[in-house]
Chains A and B, each alone.
Chain A
Amino acid sequence: MSEGIVYWLQQLLNALQLGSIYGLIALGYTMVYGILTMINFAHGDVFMIGAFFCFLAAVYLGLPFAPVLLLTMIGTALLGVAIERLAYKPLRHAPRVSAIITALGVGIFLENFTLALAPYPKHIPALLENTNWNLGGVSVSSLQIIIICLSLGLMFLLDYVVHRTPVGMAMRAISWDKTFVPLMGVPVDLVISVTFAIGAGLAGAAGTMYGLAYPVIDPYMGIMVGWKAFISAVVGGIGNIRGAMIGAFILGGVEIFVAAFLPSTYRDFVAFALLLVLLIVRPYGILGSPRIQKV
């Protein structure tokens, strides 16, 4: 193959890897928004906590990859439910701004709490044996394959849960109408907690995989990644699960290809400029539908 194509394929693979991590986090944002119309600004920090759980499980418990992933997902799921019950639930009927501020506060709390306990960046040990294959000049690592496949698998699983199971039906019902669905006997509190658990669990999985791909972790790593995932969710149309996945791969692609052409310091600039243009041109995202404001 010519050098140009090899280079592009290589970048495409990197974009897929980044996009699948963004996608897992974006799903948490979009699910919570869909059901509560609330931006859970602390979600990026739940992802960061996931990476730290992964570090703890790998170093102090010495577990291999599969149990580490499982433990991390359970840990962050519990954290997500705890945040929802303690911080967001009391504010469900308060003005929306209070919920946003609280979410920001929870995020800063998680960052600084982690910083107080772990002042220096940590290094996650290699949990998987990494082999590199050379496919016609494109170097493919087993880690990349695992990250992409596992993320896609989790995404399809979630899509199945939301569209084909009773819990998913309850979620969609609550996001459709918050007043009458409880009257039909749907346990709203339980469904909301399950939503947070699933979203946070996926963020935990993303944290683990991010930690394997980029092993140095610090308490502030969740901020930028969280915002990028959030942009993905908005690009795809927030509240729309399939849209979040598409948006994540678009953003991953844009970031990788921008870094290929421009100095990498322009990456954030382009990502946020994309968000700005999109919000002005098509504020409801790619798959979202415009909300009609009634008088």
Chain B
Amino acid sequence: MKSSALIETKEWLAAQRWLLPILILIGFGLAFAIPEYGLFNKYVQLVMMYVGINIILAASLNLVNGYMGEFSLAHAGFMALGAYTSALLTMKVLPVAEYPGLFPLAVLAGGLVAALFGLIVAVPSFKTRGDYLALITLAFLMIVKSLIENIDVIGGPRGIPGIRKLTTLPWVFFWTVLSLWVIRNFVYSKYGRGVLSIREDEIASELMSVNTRRVKFLAFTLSSFFAGIAGGLFAHLLQFISPRVFDIIKSTDVLIMVYLGGIASLGGSILGATVYTVLLELLRPSTVGALLSWLPDMLFDPLNEYFIRHLGVWRMVIMPLALVLVMIFWPRGIMGLREFRWFVPKRDLDAHQHQHHAERENPHDASHRQ
């Protein structure tokens, strides 16, 4: 009985689509209020900003890796391009000290430069797929990193220190919502269907007159654009960037978020990025110590001595292990191929329900669906 009540509540909630814009407005208000009135301490605010940036990264990578079914390792490279472009702009070109309102321009420029390079990566994807395309994206990442290391004007391997801290909670919230909105609209557009058809069967979709080249161009460009945006925000939050920050580990982090959350699902990317970021922060010795500080000293001290103190090293062991376990026992991730119903356009929901009914009435006729 209880579970049916739960399902009913869920169904009712899913039908209240008008809540989404209101929730976004409330979120925006909170994003201004939290730093203004210090509702949470600085550390929690920092984690919230990282969550936002990671959501942008995961959602944009999901476009290529989830919806299109390719395997790109280049995301950290696009991030690096966005980060360096925007950091150089705010440090050398734009007078952000007098006009902090110019910051989004720098971030936008970072996104555009990354998008331009996304075009370059899209070209080999016309002919290659799967593992070999994964390698091309990897080579791209390594080449970007190696080029930055070899250009001394932008700091070479030493990186750029002393970037202004311009990334604020409202800006992160704004860019996160914007990127989710754009990617959501793209995915449910005509081109979005093209992206999905490429994942299912590229040759068949070409025969059905999908312009696969244009679709791939768009998907790669959009994905790298938002990776660049995230890079710009990241640079102005961390205040220091170097080629080492954007290595293969960074790409792997985003991959984990995408697959943990589930492919081809924006809701999944939001959950994956949030869960991964928060879990990694929770495993920090200082966080665990603070969370357990209510324990009496008699219990806390040995726990600290043998367990909490060592977490700093072991948390990076626990995370990949968790990833492997998720892949084996839960290969679809949290939301795999499902979606928050608020994100799905009304017409798609209706069409889906039609198909559902048709299948129920005529099971032998049912076309194969995911």
Q: Which of B185-193, B233-241, B309-317 makes up part of the contact surface?
A: B309-317
Chain A nearest CB: distance from B121 CB in Å? Answer: 10
Interface string of A113-149 (1 = CB under 8 A from B): 1011001000000000000000000000000000000
In the complex with contacts A273-B139, A295-B203, A105-B248 CB distance below 8 A:
no
B142 and A272 within 8 A (CB): yes
Q: Which of B99-107, B130-138, B165-173, B222-230 makes up part of the contact surface?
A: B130-138
Partner of A87, one of B136, B145, B328: B328
B136 and A112 within 8 A (CB): no
Q: A275 an interface residue at 8 Å Cβ cutoff? A: yes
B255 and A104 within 8 A (CB): yes
Q: A269 an interface residue at 8 Å Cβ cutoff? A: yes
Q: A179 an interface residue at 8 Å Cβ cutoff? A: no
Chain B residues with CB under 8 Å of A185's CB are none
Query: In whole angstroms, how far apart are the Cα atoms of A276 and B249 in the complex?
Result: 20
B323 and A96 within 8 A (CB): no
Which residues of chain A in 167-194 are interfacial with respect to chain B, using CB atoms and an 8 Å cutoff?
Answer: none
Query: In whole angstroms, how far apart are the Cα atoms of A276 and B309 in the complex?
Result: 44
Q: A66 an interface residue at 8 Å Cβ cutoff? A: no
Which residues of chain A in 244-295 are interfacial with respect to chain B, using CB atoms and an 8 Å cutoff?
Answer: 263, 265-266, 268-269, 272-273, 275-276, 279-280, 283, 293, 295
Interface string of A73-113 (1 = CB under 8 A from B): 00000000000000100110011111011101111110011
Chain A: residues with Cβ within 8 Å of the partner, total of 41
Chain B residues with CB under 8 Å of A107's CB are 320
A100 and B317 within 8 A (CB): no
Complex: chain A residue closest to B251, CB-CB: A104
Query: In whole angstroms, how far apart are the Cα atoms of A276 and B134 in the complex?
Result: 11
A112 and B124 within 8 A (CB): no
Chain B residues with CB under 8 Å of A283's CB are 127-128, 132
Chain B residues with CB under 8 Å of A234's CB are 132, 135
Q: A49 an interface residue at 8 Å Cβ cutoff? A: no
Chain B nearest CB: distance from A264 CB in Å? Answer: 11
Which of B135, B147, B319 counts the most chain A CB atoms within 10 A?
B135
Query: In whole angstroms, how far apart are the Cα atoms of A94 and B263 in the complex?
Result: 14
A109 and B331 within 8 A (CB): no
Which residues of chain B in 50-79 are interfacial with respect to chain A, using CB atoms and an 8 Å cutoff?
Answer: 65, 71
Partner of A97, one of B71, B139, B145, B313: B71
A97 and B149 within 8 A (CB): no
B143 and A116 within 8 A (CB): no
B131 and A276 within 8 A (CB): no
Which of B127, B142, B314, B321 counts the most chain A CB atoms within 10 A?
B142
Partner of A268, one of B128, B146, B249, B327: B146
A269 and B331 within 8 A (CB): no
Interface string of A231-253 (1 = CB under 8 A from B): 00010000000000000000000
Query: In whole angstroms, how far apart are the Cα atoms of A90 and B143 in the complex?
Result: 35
Q: B45 an interface residue at 8 Å Cβ cutoff? A: no
Chain B residues with CB under 8 Å of A37's CB are 131
Complex: chain A residue closest to B249, CB-CB: A108
Chain B nearest CB: distance from A151 CB in Å? Answer: 24
Q: B175 an interface residue at 8 Å Cβ cutoff? A: no
B313 and A268 within 8 A (CB): no
Q: A48 an interface residue at 8 Å Cβ cutoff? A: no
Chain A nearest CB: distance from B127 CB in Å? Answer: 7
Chain B residues with CB under 8 Å of A265's CB are 146, 149-150, 157
